[in-house]
Amino acid sequence: MLENDNLDVEEFYEEFESICGLANDLKGLAPFERLLALKTSLKGSRGELYDSMKKICTEDGTFTKDPHIVYDAIKVKLLRFVKTREEKQTMALQEWNCLTKGKASSLEFETRWERAIRKLKRYGLEKGPQELLLGYLGRISKQCATEIRKDRRTYTNPDGTQSEQRSVRSWEEAHALAVDIDNDLSATRAITQPVMDNQNPWREEHSGT
């Protein structure tokens, strides 16, 4: 969604056009379909800008005849709201500093984590491997981070050989262990949690009372 307080228009279009490209078995949306889909993602004054352009282009026939031109024209107008590079860097750092896993699963957190580090890299604030590893461990639960730090196992080296048993050296390795830990916890809950259904023995025994 592109709302009034969202000035990261470039990122919005990057994500929107990426999603549009996945439609119709990766053939992408047709120009007119993409133009209509854009409307549903614009809120507030951004939606009003779309409606104004639609009215003008409907009158001269270009809205249906040349939808790709109308789409590009709306995009140009919306891109006037972009932030400066310094503002984008500040926002990327704020997102990175405030990022926490919370109650999300490791797979759910992965999307937000990768988005945050992608923004840092885009705006020249890329973190090194060790800083990313420490940053990842600092954003998950202490119990999970402790288990990951204690874990020792072999890993495949870039040349295809197996390493000696060692601890994780990258956030990707730590994340893989976090996903495994999540899966183990889910399996344990499924086994140990009592199944509550309509076949409660107490209810059957007292059904006549």
| Full domain range(s) for residue 28 | 9-81
Query: Could you give the 3-state DSSP secondary structure of residue 193?
Result: coil
Query: Could you give the 3-state DSSP secondary structure of residue 173?
Result: helix
User: Both 110 and 183 in a single domain?
Assistant: yes
User: For position 200, what pLDDT does the model report?
Assistant: 52
User: Both 147 and 104 in a single domain?
Assistant: yes
| pLDDT beneath 70: ranges in the chain | 7, 194-209
User: Both 101 and 67 in a single domain?
Assistant: no
User: For position 5, what pLDDT does the model report?
Assistant: 73
Q: Cα(5)–Cα(103) distance, rounded to whole angstroms?
A: 27
User: For position 9, what pLDDT does the model report?
Assistant: 87
User: For position 58, what pLDDT does the model report?
Assistant: 95
The neighbour count for residue 159, using CB atoms within 10 Å, is 5
pLDDT tens digits for 62-106? 999 999 999 999 999 998 877 778 888 898 899 999 999 999 999
End-to-end CA, the chain: 57
User: Both 68 and 140 in a single domain?
Assistant: no
Residue 196 lies in a domain: no
